[in-house]
Every structure is written in C-alpha cells, then in structure tokens.
Amino acid sequence: MARRKDSPQKAAMREMMRDYLKNNDISIKDGADVNSIMRDMMSVLLEGTLDEELDEELGYSKYDYRNKETDNSRNGHSSKTMHTSYGDMNVAIPRDRNGEYEPQLIKKYQNTVTQDMEEKILSMYAKGMTTGDIEAHMRELYDIDISDSTISRITDKILPIVKEWQERPLEEVYAVVFMDAIHYHVRSEGRIVKRAVYIALGIDMNGKKDILGMYVGENESPKFWLSIMNGLKNRGVEDILIACVDGLNGFPQAIEAVYPKTEIQQCIIHQIRNSTKFVSYKDIKKLMSDLKLVYAAPTEETALNELELFKDKWDSKYPKIYKSWHDNWATLSTYFKYPEAVRRLIYTTNAIEGFNRQLRKVTKSKTVFPSDDSLLKMLYLATMDITKKWTGHRQDWGQIHSQLEIYFEERLIRRNL
C-alpha cells in the first residue's frame, strides 16, 4: 500500500527496493552500506540512459536489425571511473564502430557525476585548502580518489564567471571607494614572480559595501590603477565622492584623470607606519605622542600648527618625517573638512585592509601559486565566501549619509540621489 504522500513513481520505487533487498539478502547496517547501494543504483541508471542515447544515435535498438539504416553499429563498452558523493564507481560507456557517438549524459572528459560534489570542492578551495588537501579530504570522507588535475578542471569552470563578475555593471555613484593592493608570489615561465592583486571596495549611497573589482597585475603602479579607474567608468560609475588610498606615488593623479572632482584621502595609518619605520625605539613613544597631536587635531589649522611644532622638535633627528607629511598634506588632510562620523570612515583604509586580512587568512597555506588564474580563482571564491555576510550597512550610516548630502549637495542633486 502506498504511503499517503508518495507519488506513484516513488511508491513503485519503494516496492522495487523492498524486493531488491529481500531477494538479494541485503541488510543495511550503516552509511557505508547505503553508499554502496546508491553507487549500484546510480551506475545502473547511468548505463541504461547511455545505452538509450546510443540507440537514438544509431536509429535502432539492440538486436533490432530489421530497422537498421546505417553502416554504424555497437562496439561493446569501455569502463570509466566516476567520482560521486557516494564514492567512486565504474560505469560502462557504450561505443560505436565508427567512433561517431559522443555521450551527452557523461561528457568525454567528465569524471564527476553530482553537482553537489563539485560545490563541495569549490567550497574547500574557497576556504584555502590546497589541491592536495582536497584530494586527501575527499578520499577520507567520501572514499573518492580524485586527482589534482580533476580538481583544477572543476575550479577552472569558475573562470568565465570571474570574468563576468569583473565586468558586471555597477552603481552610478559611490560615497566612498577604498583602493589597495595585496601581493602574492606566482610561478611564471619557470620563475617565481611577485604579483599585485588590485582591489577596489566601494560603499554606495545606501551604505552597502561591495568589492567592485579585483585584478591580478604586476607590481603596484599608478598606470595599472588608471586602467582600473577607466574600467569602473566603463562599467557605469559616473562619480566617486571620496577615494581612500595608500601613499603610492602618482595614485591621486591616476584617480583625478578619470574622476577630477573626487576628494582623495591618503590613509593616515599608512603614513604613520612609513613615518616611524626608522625611528629609534627610545624615541618612538614621544614621537608618536607628538605626531598624534597633528592627525588627531580638531581642525586643519590646529593640525598645521602642531606639524610645525613637530618639525621644530624632531627635524634635526628625523627630517624625512616632516617633509613627507608636508609634501603629502593636500591628500592627508582631506578628512579635516568633514564632521566626526565621516572622518572615522575615511581617515584610514582599514575597511579594505580588514578584507585583505581575511584573504591572507584563506591563502596562508599557499606560498606560491602555480599561475595567475590559480591565484584569481582562489581569491574570487574567498571573496564570494566573505562578502555573502555583508548584508547590512554601518550603524551610523544615516548620520554619514546626511553629512555627505550637505557637503556634496550639488553633485548629488544633479544625479537625483
């Protein structure tokens, strides 16, 4: 008798399985027994479907020679090992005499069956597991022998998706865009070279955070950043209110070439690190205390006064510090224009550095990547894993937005935002 919620197909399958287990004296004691039966069932279903595919290709069923209208014929089977969530199994793939038959259910180079297993592999890759780790993990948990090349083929499937993601349309206006580069070692033409991964993180006018772009290039340069700026423009970004960057020479000019009205804020934390890099440990505490009077000043006028006092006190011993702050003041002092809430958001690139730290955590097991594509695959998958948690906006966004509306009123009105 069929169960209340069983469809006719499920009821028939239940009856068939009951007879199969009873007639073959099979008892199920644990998950391994279930996996064994599932593998047998799957192989029977696949082989039956493949035989039907060949019947349709040839135009006649097996032994039905009266309806044969082709000089082609069956030519036995070849065995192929398929990886499934239930473990490895052998499938008999039918062949034809002329070699014209191309299986559709199981493609020529396909060696995995279930989509969920590929998703498991991609998930492990996104968490930073090496191909060797994934191989061992699949063998231990699922009794599947899967090679490095198979794992690479599975992860290669996302490369077209990455390209599409890199070219997707963006918002017309972003309140703030943080830009930074993170560096990795990649094998190229028999040598290990350093690659810069250029990352742009944007916050739109609704306070939503997103990675706008991620690109692998050679060592960080303003020229490459200029190409990224042009790319953002081509993808629909008409205006960026404030851009937060590190102290790379030529970076502000690259931004201004594409977005001439964008306010540029150079990261204060980067500037402090560079300033104190060669300071004696005996002086560091006092020097930092005096430097804090500059960058934590309530107004730009006060900050400039404190900078001159800093010069009088420290210039004889560390002349490069004052010179660096003085020469870069135009982009270091941008945040003084804004109220406290906006200042906290833009005076440092911590937002993107926090994201970079999460990427490093994922990639720490990979000292050298075999190729640029391999690097990009892992970073993209890690990015998707990280950003799926970015569902809200900053708690103080209402205050920030209202302040931005005041300072950029004309530009926002022109764009009806």
Q: Are 201 and 178 in contact (CB under 8 A)?
A: yes
- Tell me the CA distances in angstroms from 140 to 45, 89, 114, 270, one per residue in order: 26, 16, 18, 45
Which helix (H) or strand (E) element contains residue 199? strand 191-204
Q: What pLDDT score does 1 carry?
A: 47
Q: What is the DSSP string of 119-166?
A: HHHHHHHHTT--HHHHHHHHHHHH-----HHHHHHHHHTTHHHHHHHH
d(CA 180, CA 247): 10
Question: What are the backbone dihedrals phi and psi of residue 219, each rounded to the nearest 5 degrees, phi first?
Answer: -50, 145
Mean pLDDT by 10 residues, the chain (417 residues): 63 73 76 73 74 79 72 84 76 86 75 66 77 76 70 80 92 94 90 93 94 90 92 95 89 93 93 91 94 95 96 94 94 93 90 91 86 90 90 86 88 71
Beta-carbon contacts of 371 under 8 Å, excluding residues fewer than 6 positions away, are 186, 187, 188
pLDDT of amino acid 230? 95
- Can you give the pLDDT at residue 143? 66
The model carries a pTM of: 0.71
pLDDT at residue 3, as a whole number:
54
Is 393 in a helix, a strand, or coil?
Answer: strand
> Tokens for 378?
């892992």
Dihedral sign computed on CA atoms, order 397, 401, 403, 404: positive
CA distances from 241 to 51, 334, 404 (A): 63, 12, 9
